[in-house]
Amino acid sequence: MRKRSKRERSGPPSAISLYVHVPFCRSKCPYCAFYSLSPTIGGISSFLQALEGEIELFKREGDLPRIRTAYIGGGTPSVLSLPDWKRLISILERAFTFLPRAEVTVEANPGSLTGEHLSLWKDWRVTRVSLGVQSLQDEDLLVAGRAHNRRQALDSMAKITGTGLSLSADLLFGLPGQNLRSWGETLREILSQGVDHVSIYQLTLEEGTPWGERPQNDLAEGYPFYRWAQYYLEKKGLLQYEIASFARPGRWCRHNVSYWTGGEFIGLGPSAWGYMNYERTRNIPDLAEYCLMVSRGNKPVCYSERLEGDRLASESAILALRTRWGIRLQDLRRDWGKDWPERMNAALEELPRDLFRSSPGRIALSRRGMRVGNSIWERLLP
C-alpha cells in the first residue's frame, strides 16, 4: 500500500470537528434544499433528546475526540428558545471536550436572533455567528421569500458585532430582478457593518424545492456579481480564501477549511453528514425516523460511503483546489503516491496559465480559475 491513513501517520487525531444540524426553520425558503421543518415545542424537545441519544451511541464506540471546531447549523439554530439553547449547550458540554481556542460558529437568521441569544452564546464558547443576511435590499428579500427585512438584518449585524462576536454574512446573488448596482450596494453596506467574513453563493435551482420545480423568470446571470465580489471584497481587505468565502486575514472559518482539507468531523442531528476514518455518513433526513432509530439504539445513518485509492485522492485534490492555498505537491506525493503530482500536471497542462496562481511547490487557482472551477476539477476525476 502506497498510502497510509492519517491515523497511522499521526496517531489518533487529537481533535476533530463537530457539526450539529438543527432542523427547524420558521419558514421555508423557496430555493433551499436543506432539511428543515416548523419548530414545535414537541419537535424541538424530541430532537434534543434524540441528539443526546445519538451522542451516547458514539460514546459506545470509544472515547469521544476533543473538538477543535464546531458548527451549529441548520435549519435555523436561532429559532430555538433560550431554555432549549441552554439544554443543547449542556448536552454538548457534558459530552465533548472543546479545545481552549476552539472555533464555534452558530448560524442565525435576522428574523429570529435576539440579544439574549447572543449573550448566551458569547457566555458559552461561541466565537462567530454566521448570519443569513442574503441581501440588504428589501426587494431581493421579498423575492427570495426570506422572513426578515433589511432593517432587521442591519439590526442583527449591529447586535452581533456589539456582543464582540466575529460576524460572518451569507449573501445570495443571481436572484430574479437583482442587478449589479444593488449587489454592490449590499456589499458596501455589509462591510460598513464590520463583517470579518462573507460567504457568497449563487442561487442554484435544486430539485425538490419550489423554485427547482418551477424556475423563476429573469434569473440574473451570476458572473458579473461574482466577479464584482472578487474585485471589491479583496480591495476592502477580505481575501478570497475559497470559491465562495472571503475573510479578513486570520478570520477564515477553520471549520469549513477542515472540510476542504479532509478533516474528520462528527455530524449530529437529522440529515447531518459526518466523516471519520475515510467513511462519510449521512443521517436520515427525517426527524421522526431519526428519533425512532436513536431510541432503538441504532445509528440513524441512511447513507455511507468509503472512498479509496484514486477516487479518494482525486476528491481530496478537488476539495483542496477550492481553497486559496490549493494543493501542496509534496503532500500529494506523500498521501497519494509519487506519480500524483505528475498526473495533476498532465490533467491541467492544456489549460491557460492565468487560471492558476503561481507559487512554487503548489497548485492553486487564481481568481480567474475560481470562476471556472467546475471545468477544472472535472479534469481531476479518475
Partner 1 sequence: MKVPIERIRNFCIIAHVDHGKSTLADRLLEATTTVSAREMREQILDTLELERERGITIKLVPVQMKYRASDGQDYTLNLIDTPGHVDFTYEVSRSLAACEGALLIVDAAQGVEAQTVANAYLAVEQGLEIVPVINKIDLPSARPEQAAKEIEEVVGLDCSEVLLASAKEGTGITQILEAVIRKVPPPSGDRDSSLQALVFDSIYNNYRGVICYIRVANGTIRTGDTVTFMATRKSFQVEEIGVFGPDMRPVDELGPGEVGYLICNIKSVEEARVGDTVTSQRIPAKSPLPGYRKVKPVVFCGFYPIERDEYPQLRDALEKLQMNDAAIFFEPESSTALGFGFRCGFLGLLHMEIARERLNREFGVDLVATAPNVIYQIRTTAGEMIEAHRPSDFPEASQIEEVLEPFIKITSFVPAEYVGKVMQLCQDRRGFFLEMDYITPQRARVVYELPLAEFIIDFHDRLKSVTRGFGSIDYEHSGFRASNLVKVDILIGGDPVDAFCFVCHADRAYHRGQEVVRKLKEIIPRQLFEVSLQAAIGKRVIVRQNVKPLRKDVLAKCYGGDITRKRKLLEKQKEGKKRMKQIGRISLPQEAFLAFLKAGDEEEE
> What is the closest distance, in whole angstroms, from the C-beta atom of residue 137 to partner 1 in the complex?
20
In this chain, which of 43, 212, 337, 373 binds partner 1, going by CB under 8 A? 373
Interaction of residue 267 with partner 1, rule CB under 8 A: yes
Nearer to partner 1, 39 or 269 (CB): 269
Give me the amino acid identity at 107: E
> What is the closest distance, in whole angstroms, from the C-beta atom of residue 2 to partner 1 in the complex?
22
Nearer to partner 1, 40 or 303 (CB): 303
Q: State how far the Cα of 312 lies from the Cα of 135, in Å rounded to an integer.
A: 37
197, 166 Cβ separation under 8 angstroms: yes
- Closest-CA residue to 132 (of 145, 115, 121, 120): 145
**How many residues are there in the chain?**
382
The residue range among 46-54, 57-65, 136-144, 365-373 that interacts with partner 1, by the rule CB under 8 A, is 365-373
In this chain, which of 272, 291, 320, 327 binds partner 1, going by CB under 8 A? 272
The residues in 2-31 that bind partner 1, with binding defined as CB under 8 A, are 19
| DSSP letter for each residue of 260-300 | HTT--EEEESTT-EEEETTEEEEE-S-HHHHHHHHHTT---
- Closest-CA residue to 187 (of 134, 240, 252): 134
In this chain, which of 26, 28, 236, 282 binds partner 1, going by CB under 8 A? 282
> What is the closest distance, in whole angstroms, from the C-beta atom of residue 369 to partner 1 in the complex?
9
> What is the closest distance, in whole angstroms, from the C-beta atom of residue 41 to partner 1 in the complex?
27
Q: Is the peptide bond before 269 cis (omega within 30 degrees of 0)?
A: no
> What is the closest distance, in whole angstroms, from the C-beta atom of residue 347 to partner 1 in the complex?
12
Interaction of residue 261 with partner 1, rule CB under 8 A: no
The residues in 325-354 that bind partner 1, with binding defined as CB under 8 A, are 350-352
176, 135 Cβ separation under 8 angstroms: no
228, 180 Cβ separation under 8 angstroms: yes
List Cβ neighbours of 254 (8 Å cut-off, separation of 6 or more): 68, 69, 103
Nearer to partner 1, 21 or 251 (CB): 21
> What is the closest distance, in whole angstroms, from the C-beta atom of residue 123 to partner 1 in the complex?
27
In this chain, which of 48, 92, 106, 243 binds partner 1, going by CB under 8 A? 243
Nearer to partner 1, 87 or 197 (CB): 197
At residue 372, the 3 state secondary structure works out as: coil
Exposure string of 166-201, with b = 16+ CB inside 10 Å and e = fewer, is: bbbbbbbbbbbebeeebbeebbebbbebebbbbbbb
Q: What is the dihedral of CA 148, 154, 155, 156, to 10 degrees?
A: 70
Interaction of residue 322 with partner 1, rule CB under 8 A: yes
Interaction of residue 280 with partner 1, rule CB under 8 A: yes
- Quote the radius of gyration of the chain (alpha carbons, Å): 21
Diameter over CA atoms, the chain: 58
> What is the closest distance, in whole angstroms, from the C-beta atom of residue 108 to partner 1 in the complex?
16
The residues in 181-240 that bind partner 1, with binding defined as CB under 8 A, are 199, 201-202, 204, 222-223, 226-227
Place of cell 428579500: 141
- Total binding residues toward partner 1, as defined by CB under 8 A: 42
Interaction of residue 378 with partner 1, rule CB under 8 A: yes
Nearer to partner 1, 201 or 232 (CB): 201
> What is the closest distance, in whole angstroms, from the C-beta atom of residue 335 to partner 1 in the complex?
17
Other CB atoms within a 10 A radius of the CB of residue 232 amount to 16
Give me the amino acid identity at 187: L
- Closest-CA residue to 117 (of 154, 56, 69, 165): 165
Q: Which residues bind partner 1 (CB under 8 A)?
A: 19, 199, 201-202, 204, 222-223, 226-227, 243-244, 256, 259-260, 265, 267, 271-275, 280, 282, 305, 315, 318-319, 322, 350-352, 355, 370-378, 381
